[in-house]
């Protein structure tokens, strides 16, 4: 049920809201998150008229295993995190979407009667336009709304700020115009369509799926039209270890060519092996044609293929280790994944700019720190080349690690939790 602004503020002070916010963000963040949402509602009121208001939240995501496998129909282990994009929104009768995005000047306005791609328009508008087109293409209703949006998902970092935003818009349209009938897979596909077609980003489906679904999940993309999603019942915060994201200082906003080269090189190898994607090929086939593939595709494509085969199997092993409570085996697999990404996948720095290696510097100093502890693991996070790394570290060492990163590379860190909800309308849950 949607509420007025005054009623929404009252709702946020209720015991039910406190319980929900604690599940989303952790009890230690309850007070801060309540203040954050109340500020969101007040900011909405500064820009738009009151109405039947809905609160929406869409998380960023952490990729735990399966680095660069989804686009070749592989397997991943991922989770929605307690950094998110939130909105206060009101449905309107006019066929116009208007939103203010905190930290960006002015208003963004889009008339939903024109859903053709518009060259040169801001990325946020292109994504919204693409999502609207995806809804209509899939036979779902669309309409206008006003929204005030805020986020603490790091932009261009590897935490999927774009997918978080896409699933937020999908959730608003799903709630306002489709009675919540879209499932998470459908919303994820619409978000991917918007990125691929309206933003020219060659992304797979991992980011959108992890943001939309919620929790820690294994996803098998053997058939990307019907990915198999398996919840993994494991709570890192109760295991004695914490997930820490390190912002390495790099930015991957302008690295589309580098990201596109990874799936393209893998598929080029797959074609020589008689398949469309590497999931449909076998390592033995690669070894039998190694010379031909090196000549036609280059050595980096071969190395990336070797990474894919090993990383795909590693996801199954990671899920098994977590399910059986074998923490040390899981951490070893994280280390192996990181080494494979660094050596074989080669997505830790740009070959064209070896003087700037923010990710490898962060990994290098972190490995030194973890070796001194004799515990933990780290690896490049997400697409790579720039952005963030993931460190899994004993709880008692977190604060000293945070200080170590500040003292050495001088960048920010984020202690994250896996949250049980993906993209949601808080009103529906309350």
- CATH code where residue 138 lies: 3.30.230.10
CA atoms within 13 Å, Cβ hemisphere of 88: 28
Mean per-residue pLDDT, 70-87:
96
Query: Residue 10: which domain range?
Result: 5-59+84-204+421-429
13 CB neighbour count, 10 Å cutoff: 10
| pLDDT higher than 90, residue 160 | no
CA dihedral 163, 168, 172, 174 (to 10 degrees): 40
| pLDDT higher than 90, residue 1 | no
348 falls within a domain: no
- Euclidean distance between CA atoms 415 and 397, whole angstroms: 12
* Tens digits of residue pLDDT in 10-56: 999 999 999 999 999 999 999 999 999 999 999 999 999 999 999 99
Q: Which two tokens stand for residue 331?
A: 């951490």
| pLDDT higher than 80, residue 156 | no
Identify which of 277, 219, 315, 272 has the alpha carbon closest to the alpha carbon of residue 72.
277
Query: Cα 5 vs. chain centroid, distance in angstroms?
Result: 30
- Euclidean distance between CA atoms 211 and 76, whole angstroms: 13
93 falls within a domain: yes
* Tens digits of residue pLDDT in 311-326: 999 999 999 999 999 9
Mean per-residue pLDDT, 161-190:
97
pLDDT of residue 149: 98
Cα-Cα end-to-end distance for the chain:
9
Q: Which residues, 6+ apart, have CB-to-CB distance to 28 below 8 Å?
A: none
Question: In sequence order, what DSSP letters do the residues of 26-57 get, joined into one string?
Answer: -GGGHHHHHHHHHHHHHHHHHHS---SEEEEE
Mean per-residue pLDDT, 408-427:
95
How much is the mean pLDDT over the chain?
Answer: 94
- Euclidean distance between CA atoms 231 and 218, whole angstroms: 6
160 falls within a domain: yes
Q: Angle at the Cα of 352 (from 346 to 356), degrees rounded to 5?
A: 80
| pLDDT higher than 70, residue 170 | yes
366 falls within a domain: no
| pLDDT higher than 90, residue 339 | yes
Percentage of residues in the chain with pLDDT exceeding 70? Answer: 98
- Euclidean distance between CA atoms 128 and 122, whole angstroms: 10
| pLDDT higher than 80, residue 305 | yes
Q: Which two tokens stand for residue 410?
A: 């001088």
Least confident of 37-51, 129-143, 374-388: 374-388
| pLDDT higher than 70, residue 135 | yes
Mean per-residue pLDDT, 136-152:
97
| pLDDT higher than 80, residue 158 | no
Q: Which residues, 6+ apart, have CB-to-CB distance to 105 below 8 Å?
A: none
Mean per-residue pLDDT, 370-381:
96
* Residues paired with 220 in a beta bridge: 75, 228
How many domains, the chain?
Answer: 1
Q: Which residues, 6+ apart, have CB-to-CB distance to 292 below 8 Å?
A: 272
- Euclidean distance between CA atoms 221 and 226, whole angstroms: 8
Left (φ > 0), alpha (ψ -120 to 50) or beta: where does 320 sit? alpha
The model scores a pTM over 0.85: yes
186 falls within a domain: yes
Q: H or E segment at 114?
A: none
| pLDDT higher than 70, residue 424 | yes
Tell me the three state secondary structure of residue 110. strand
Q: H or E segment at 291?
A: helix 290-297
106 falls within a domain: yes
pLDDT of residue 252: 53
Mean per-residue pLDDT, 384-401:
94
pLDDT grade for 113, boundaries at 50, 70 and 90: very high
* Tens digits of residue pLDDT in 255-297: 778 888 999 999 999 999 999 999 999 999 999 999 999 999 9
- Euclidean distance between CA atoms 52 and 17, whole angstroms: 18
Mean per-residue pLDDT, 355-359:
92
Q: H or E segment at 406?
A: helix 398-408
26 falls within a domain: yes
188 falls within a domain: yes
């Amino acid at each position: 049920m949607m509420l007025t602004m005054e009623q929404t503020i009252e709702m946020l002070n209720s015991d039910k809201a406190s319980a929900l916010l604690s599940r989303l963000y952790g009890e230690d963040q309850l007070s801060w998150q309540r203040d954050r949402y109340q500020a969101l509602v007040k900011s909405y009121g500064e820009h738009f008229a009151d109405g039947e208001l809905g609160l929406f939240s869409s998380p960023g995501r952490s990729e735990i295993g399966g680095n660069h496998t989804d686009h070749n129909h592989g397997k991943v282990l991922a989770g929605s995190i307690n950094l998110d994009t939130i909105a206060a929104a009101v449905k309107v009768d006019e066929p116009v979407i208007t939103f203010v995005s905190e930290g960006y000047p002015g208003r963004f306005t889009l008339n939903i009667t024109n859903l053709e791609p518009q060259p040169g328009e801001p990325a946020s508008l292109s994504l919204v336009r693409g999502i609207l087109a995806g809804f209509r293409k899939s036979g779902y209703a669309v309409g206008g709304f006003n929204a005030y949006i805020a986020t603490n998902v790091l932009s261009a970092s590897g935490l999927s700020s774009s997918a978080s935003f896409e699933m937020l818009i999908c959730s608003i349209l799903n709630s306002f115009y489709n009675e919540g009938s879209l499932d998470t897979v459908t919303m994820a596909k619409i978000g991917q369509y918007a990125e691929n077609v309206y933003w020219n980003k060659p992304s797979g489906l991992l980011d959108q799926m992890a943001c939309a679904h919620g929790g820690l999940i294994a996803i098998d993309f053997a058939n990307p039209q019907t990915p198999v999603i398996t919840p993994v019942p494991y709570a890192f915060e109760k295991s004695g270890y914490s997930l820490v994201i390190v912002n390495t200082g790099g930015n991957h906003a302008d690295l589309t060519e580098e990201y596109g080269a990874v799936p393209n090189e893998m598929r080029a190898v797959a074609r020589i092996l008689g398949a469309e994607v590497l999931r449909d090929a076998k390592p033995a086939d690669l070894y039998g044609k190694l010379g031909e593939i090196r000549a036609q595709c280059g050595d980096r494509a071969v190395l990336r293929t070797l990474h894919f085969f090993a990383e795909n199997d590693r996801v199954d092993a990671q899920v098994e280790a977590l399910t059986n409570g074998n923490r040390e085996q899981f951490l070893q697999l994280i280390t192996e994944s990181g080494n494979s990404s660094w050596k074989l996948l080669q997505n830790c720095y740009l070959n064209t700019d070896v003087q700037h290696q923010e990710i490898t510097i962060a990994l290098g100093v972190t490995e030194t720190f973890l070796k001194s502890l004799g515990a933990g693991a780290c690896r490049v996070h997400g697409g790579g080349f720039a952005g963030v790394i993931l460190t899994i570290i004993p709880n008692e060492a977190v604060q000293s690690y945070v200080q170590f990163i500040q003292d050495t590379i001088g960048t920010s860190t984020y202690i994250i939790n896996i949250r049980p909800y993906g993209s949601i309308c808080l009103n529906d849950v309350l």
